[in-house]
Amino acid sequence: MADYKNFTVETDADGIALVTWDMPDRSMNVFTEEVMNELDKIIDHVVATDAIKGAVLTSGKETFSGGADLTMLQKMLGLFETERQKDHDKAIKLLFDSAGRMSWLWRKLETCGKPWVSAINGTCMGGAFEISLACHGRVAADSDKVKMALPEVKVGIFPGAGGTQRVPRMAKTQEALQMLTTGQNLSPKKALGMGLVDQVVAPRKLVESAKKMIKDGLSPVKPWDEKGFKLPGGPVYSAAGANLWPPAIAILRRETQNNYPAASAILKCVYEGLLVPFDTALKIEQRYFTEIMQTTEAKMMIRSLFISLQELNKGARRPKDAPARKLKKVGVLGAGFMGAGIAFVTAKAGIPVVLIDRDQEAADKGKEHSAKLMDGLIKKGRATEDDKEKLLSLITATPDYNELDGAGLVIEAVFEDSNIKKEVTEKAEAVLKSTAVFASNTSTIPISALANNSKRPKNFIGIHFFSPVDKMMLVEIIMGKRTGDKALAVAMDYVRAIKKTPIVVNDTRGFYVNRCVLRYMQEAYSMLIEGVPAPMIENGAKMAGMPVGPLALTDETAIDLAQKIMKQTIRDLGEKAVDPRHMELIDTMVDKHGRHGRKNAKGFYDYPAKPAKKHLWAGLKDLFPQKAAEEVDIEEVKQRLLVTIALEAARVMEEGIVTDPREADVGSILAFGFAPYTGGALSYIDGMGVENFVALSKRLQKKYGKQFKAPKLLLDMAEKGETFYERFAPEGGAEMQKAA
């Protein structure tokens, strides 16, 4: 028998082949062309060997597989783009054939005449779950580590290896559609309940149980390949179908605003596929997949939410020469909401934390935040009491700065007051070793200014978390003028240890994220003042793909905080730095009406007691003369809200605050949900074409003001026909741009 690089094949006395997938030099199994070729040969071997009665497919690693390797998608798109410039029809055929390779290989396994069982021992995503569905039986280990999903829609594509056809033939159609269009994770028990796995067993019995299925006479023919097969959810043309499909289409439109072509394609694939024989259904899926791969949305989402996100999570911006550092102790100064959240995520990563506040009572209150978060996880079945005790044992709550001795990193998270920050910095540095790194979680004060309080400015850096810390996945690492590579490396290692995504930002007022967010809010203020009805502003934002309207976002961050920021900006930069109309609006909300935002249940929205839902404050329409709805161009509202953010992202790149377009794109999506279907703030510009974006900006500037003036960088890029990923090509950027 042939030797395989990525698999071992061992046949036992009962004639059952155990196919173990264990890629060398990889922490997780992924599908590559080499893996696919080897699987093809293994299927042939199983079929051709009379002594083999069936096969069990499992993983030799802790996880089963993360799905397709990103280089496969890159290569597929790159070859298509190269060929498209020569022969469009040939390029489409090439893409169609590439898109179908995995699908038809899984179909080959499914119809090979011998039974296959997938023994799922850990995370099983995308194409790995699709090959499991193609197997004749599935056994999953009863473990929290086992998660199954078809998450492709989250990166702009959809399950194109039979997922849209097998899931609705195994599960009820409504459950299948929800799973496919959201990319949700399934626990073993949930998958069992849906009919997507056959057994859930103790991990030690996984392979044994899978082999037993074959020994017990598992049929090598799928139900849909036999006569008389009936769909679990009933036929499309039936009373059940009539009750399902119209609402499903309406719900998808409501949830996606038709911004995600892949989600719409899933509905079409399932609907059309369930009307025809299975092999025809696979061709329908393959055609839609080929179509979706050519969309701007897919190209941009794959680049940002798959390729760039993985690269940043692996430390793409980490200084290469700095040795890796595993932190044995971290200090957090300030046990308020932010500091307590930082302590929680640090302890959750298994790192001991010293949480310091002015007195024992305040420090204990901060530690109690972690206890409450763990209680919430326990209630949801995601943690145990033992997990809670273990985490809390890692947090030392104290007012004593001497407890910081031995900490390799200290994160300051006290009030946004320069004097208080100076005081705690000096107290901490009196205890810390000279090699320790000091970080500030400030959101407004420049890091270079705060570093003046430090005796070791090279080891002083910004680590800016977003609220709530336990849920937000992005962290801004801010480089002061004198911050050294060692401090950056330690900050990066820490952020990766707590399983968040780091982006590196050079020092400026508001850094990157807050500068963009403030533009979003400010454009909403301008619209209110112009008389655009508040519901149209908020709905326009959601129609544009933003998760939260700008007025709701202002409430969440607090209107009185916006007032403080505006006043501080005027003190620092002069009267012209803030639009006087905006200042008047915010002063009216806070000083005249006492509306501070969600925190006092009165802001741009009213927040009644539950179960009632929040609603826009009726008084908003009395602040300014209102335009009639038909006078407002909702498409223009959507454009204004996206363009103002994208322009600020471009300015940040022009100023050298952010230097890598991957960080600008991923940061804009993870921090404030910038319309994910665009691929991020810069990909929104690239996807439209810089020349087209500049033309749109000029139209909006002429009509609404100087905030839409395109910076010189964009004018130059438009003239040269450049994109951000060409102009500011990151490592590997040329290949990425070619693919996207």
CA distances for 143 relative to 58, 66, 120, 188, 563, angstroms: 15, 17, 10, 8, 50
Query: What distance, in Å, lies between the first and last C-alpha atoms of the chain?
Result: 41
Give the CA count within 13 Å in the CB-facing half-sphere of 415: 7
CA distances for 160 relative to 245, 268, 335, angstroms: 21, 13, 48
The alpha carbons of the chain give a radius of gyration, in whole angstroms, of: 28
- Is there a contact between 507 and 480 (Cβ–Cβ < 8 Å)? yes
The token pair that represents 232 in the structure block: 């679990």
440 SS3 class: strand
> How far is residue 534's CA from residue 524's CA, in Å, rounded to a whole number?
9
> How far is residue 694's CA from residue 665's CA, in Å, rounded to a whole number?
19
Neighbours of 308 (CB within 10 A): 30
136 CA to centre of own chain: 33
> How far is residue 661's CA from residue 733's CA, in Å, rounded to a whole number?
9
> How far is residue 101's CA from residue 222's CA, in Å, rounded to a whole number?
20
> How far is residue 356's CA from residue 364's CA, in Å, rounded to a whole number?
9
Nearest CA-CA partner of 129 in 146, 108, 104: 146
- Is there a contact between 462 and 445 (Cβ–Cβ < 8 Å)? no
> How far is residue 270's CA from residue 490's CA, in Å, rounded to a whole number?
48
Give the CA count within 13 Å in the CB-facing half-sphere of 164: 32
CA distances for 86 relative to 81, 90, 143, 282, 420, angstroms: 9, 9, 51, 29, 64
**Sign of the C-alpha dihedral, residues 210, 214, 220, 222?**
negative
Strands, sheet with 460-464, edge to edge from the N-terminal-most edge strand: 395-398, 353-356, 330-333, 409-412, 437-440, 460-464, 474-479, 501-506
> How far is residue 206's CA from residue 613's CA, in Å, rounded to a whole number?
47
- In this structure, what DSSP letter does residue 306 have? I
- Is 88 among the catalytic positions? no
- Give strand pairing partners of 125: 149
> How far is residue 432's CA from residue 488's CA, in Å, rounded to a whole number?
18
* Type of residue at 523: E
Nearest CA-CA partner of 369 in 344, 405, 334: 344
| Residue keyed to tokens 């899931």 | 167
Give the CA count within 13 Å in the CB-facing half-sphere of 550: 28
Neighbours of 216 (CB within 10 A): 8
* Type of residue at 68: A
- Is there a contact between 170 and 195 (Cβ–Cβ < 8 Å)? yes
**Which one of 136, 464, 582, 596 is the catalytic residue?**
464
Q: What residues act catalytically?
A: 464
